[in-house]
Structure 1
């Protein structure tokens, strides 16, 4: 199995705070890998460093065999790596359709873009129903769908998802996780950061536990779901 994303010894500082302390992990092509951990453990910082939103002090991020630690974000999107940020970050004053088309801004293949749009609407029928609605008027769950749909419009090989279920009702949480599995089944590799460890481990192949900037446990997702330490810290209902 080939490694798609290889993160080695990542160190990140916010001023004097050492936020990531030598974080290393990898994602194989075709996997769903999840990072779980408490608030403030460094999960979002890890994703933002991988996709160039935060500079790393040191370390390496290899994507498809190429170092990307200083690669600008738009270039990463063009190379097949899409990021769905925490908090959705949709363009509130633009329509659903306009938001989706912005996701395809690195592409020139008109027919391909139309085909991807059709697929996105199949994944998210609600976006088709609301395609002319302003994104800011959608519910939280619908905005999450839009953020995911927008990322898929770039036709990515890999999607990095940051807290996709945050703030959503249980019905939407189930829907979002079903869609993540569908996206994965269509051939997209997934790196998932998620507060809902139960849900994340239920769909992931492998998992890493992040604690105050360090990876402390790693293994098959099923093994972590049954690990007494992980259960006690993250899986209490």
Structure 2
């Protein structure tokens, strides 16, 4: 198992954000976490990558407990995140943003290879490499955030709401790219409010409700589950 989360508890002040959640991510798969706003989805990702400290529980990556490992070391271990809201460096160029994602690479040659791979996957970023990131469209900024995360060549990519704020046509394009990234060998843990799109690409899924896992199973079964269809698929 690439990632195993066991009985994870996280609180912000007096608010219990995660109440003992457990789930697994198998290598080579896409696993979706779906749920309403405030369910704890983003907190889960931020805790896995070390930005939030768990109160208790266990996060195991490739057999190593990473609960107290600092974020920069977690990136070096092979976990990278595409944050909610894209969070690109607006005053830096597209190229400079991508280079920021390669800081953990061991050599400039590896960074060059990563950059070539990102430009191959995102031709628009190559066309705009000298452009300031703040002048890109929302879809292009999402591609830049994804490209920046891929610069470290992660084995596990955490994606937080990649479709947020995008037009339907761009959502289709972003999810097509997510499939391509997974087909090339990268495991993905996907947090997404667009449950329909998330379940269409994932192999398995977990439904989070107020810090607890309410449902879990194969994504196709979840898409047919009456409760999921009513609460998350708008039916």
TM-score normalized with structure 2 length: 0.99
Structure 1 residue runs of 5 or longer lacking an equivalent are: none
Aligned partner (choices 219, 222, 233) of residue 221 of structure 1? 219
Match of 1:66 in 2: 64
Pairing partner for 1:141 from 104, 115, 139: 139
Once the two structures are superposed, residues 205-233 of structure 1 have per-residue CA deviations (whole angstroms, 9 ceiling, x without a partner) of 00000000000100000000000000000
What residue is the counterpart of 2:92 in the other structure?
94
Please give the secondary structure, in 2, of the residue aligned with 1:82: strand
Task: Specify the alignment match of 1:15 in structure 2.
Answer: 13
* TM norm structure 1: 0.98
Q: CA deviation at 1:112?
A: 2.2
Report the RMSD for the aligned CA atoms in angstroms: 0.8
Aligned to 2:160: 162
2:49 to 48, 51, 55: 51
Q: Give 1:163 deviation, angstroms.
A: 0.2
User: C-alpha distance in 1, partners of 2:119/2:176?
Assistant: 15
Report how far residue 122 of structure 1 moved: 1.3
Q: How does 1:200-215 map to 2 (within 5 A)?
A: 200-215=198-213
Measured in 2, the distance between the counterparts of 1:47 and 1:174 equals 23
Structure 2: runs of 5+ lacking an equivalent: none
The residue aligned with 1:111 is: 109
Alpha-carbon offset, residue 111 of structure 1? 2.2
- 1:185-213 deviation digits (Å, cap 9, x = unpaired): 11000000001000000000000000000
Report the counterpart of residue 197 of structure 2 in structure 1. 199
Q: Which secondary structure state, in structure 2, belongs to the residue aligned with residue 23 of structure 1?
A: strand
Shift of 1:123: 1.1
Q: How many residues align?
A: 235
Corresponding residue for residue 230 of structure 2: 232
Deviations 1:103-146 (A, max 9, x none): 00011222222122111111111101100000011111111100
Give the distance between the partners of 1:153 and 1:228, measured in 2 at CA.
Answer: 40
CA–CA separation in structure 2 for the residues paired with 1:15 and 1:74 = 25
